[in-house]
Structures are given as C-alpha cells and as structure tokens.
Structure 1
Amino acid sequence: MANYRSGRINEEMKKEVSNIIQNKIKDPRLSAMVSVTGVDVTKDLSYAKVYVSIFGSETSKEQSLEALKSSVGFIRKEVGKKVKLRCTPKIIIELDESIEKGMHIDKILDEIKENKKHDN
C-alpha cells in the first residue's frame, strides 16, 4: 500500500514540477529545453529529488541548471499550492544524463555494426 501511494505522489509531483518549469518560470537563463524525467520523494515527504534532462549546448545546459536551482523556492511554493500534502517537500534539482548516455551507447553499437559489415 505504501509503495502505491509513494508512486502516486512521485508521479503527481513530476507532473506539477514539469508544468511549473514549462509555464511559470520566467527566467531568461532557462533557454534550453528542459524535461523532468523523474521525481523521488522520501518516505517522510521531507525531500523530493527532481531529475531533469536538459537539451541544448553545454553553456545553455549550465545556465538552465543554474536557473532551475535558483528557482527551487518558487517551485516548492507552487507545488504546495497544487499538491495537497501535509508538508511540501524541499526540492533538490539533479541533472539526469541517462538519455545522453543511451545515445552514446547507441552510437558505439552503430560503429561496431559498421565495422562488422566492413570486415565481412
């Protein structure tokens, strides 16, 4: 039962944080495309790790991540208005690089396939 509830809370937080980042943050440093890939809320609901994937150049990634980290208070306040919990968790923004790693692995596999074709 507890796992089901934590899963619902994680998904609801993910949906709301994504909506807030897309529609309510007006920071000019937030120029790259930002996608919320996951949210992990602790069992006592005191912290929420928000994993974001940022698409863009390296400098725009750094600026966007800095903008997100500086707007954690605003995000927490907005989440508190939308998600009805006893206490609103403190938000921690983490960069999720799993998509980039997956693309890198795909590239390596494609190179291996090409090398096998040339060997035969």
Structure 2
Amino acid sequence: MSIRTEKVASLLQRELSAIFEKELPRSGPLATVTEVKVTADLGIARVYVSIIGSEAQRAELMEFLHTETKALRKILSSKIRNQFRRIPELEFYEDRLFEQANRIEELLKSVRRGPAEEQL
C-alpha cells in the first residue's frame, strides 16, 4: 500500500472505531475494527471487524452492518467530509483471527502437556 492509502485506512479505522463505540447497541456483542484496507483508487474500504459473542450474535451484528452500511457511511461522512472529496464505499468482513489464534494456542498447550503427562 502507498503512504496515502495507509493514512486513509488508519483514519477510517480510527473514525469507524469511534462510531462503533457510540452507535452500536451496548446490549449486543463486543465489536472492534481490527483493520481497514483501502483500494488504490480510495473507492472501496474493506473493514475487518472482530466480534466477541455467540455465533447468533455475530451473525446478527454482521447482518446489521451489511444492512446499515449506508447509514454508517453517512455518519462517517459527517465526521471526515473536510478531509475527503468522496467517502469510500464500505465493505464489512468478520475477522476471526483472534479465534484462530486462540485455537492454535490451545493446540500448542495440549501438545506441550502431552509429553509431560507421559513422563509422570
């Protein structure tokens, strides 16, 4: 990525995180913007969201994000309109990296415990 796209991605991540903190319902799952990738023409921003909650809550929140993309883009526009001519289209993706890391950690722990238990 170029310096410009990195700066735009960083700004979008910061602003979307603030929007998520203020706009999303508190009773639902915890959602965090983990990464934003912006295309070279700054037309599309792919937003990766880490969600902590049950599978049903995750699916519900992702559905909410997909249906409310225009509203979220409008809120984002009101916050950063002085810095952009055109606000990028938002695409939301669930980031399951945290879950995968936990799964790998558990597997490594079980492998480490295995030989130690055999020696006893």
The alignment's TM-score, normalised by the length of structure 2, stands at 0.90
C-alpha contact 2:37 2:46 (8 A) present in aligned 1: yes
Aligned length: 117
What 5-or-longer segments of structure 2 have no aligned partner?
Answer: none
What 5-or-longer segments of structure 1 have no aligned partner?
Answer: none
1:32-83 deviation per Cα after TM superposition (whole angstroms, max 9, x unaligned) = 0001000001111110000001101111111111111111101111111222
* Alignment partners' CA distance in 2, 1:25 and 1:119: 49
The alignment's TM-score, normalised by the length of structure 1, stands at 0.90
One-letter identity of the residue aligned with 1:38: E
Matched, 1:48 2:45: yes
Q: Percent identity?
A: 26
Runs of 4+, deviation exceeding 6 Å: none
What CA RMSD, in Å, does the superposition of the two structures yield over aligned residues? 1.6
Which position in structure 2 is the counterpart of 1:90?
A: 89
In the TM superposition, 1:1-120 aligns within 5 A as 3-26=2-25, 31-83=28-80, 84-120=83-119
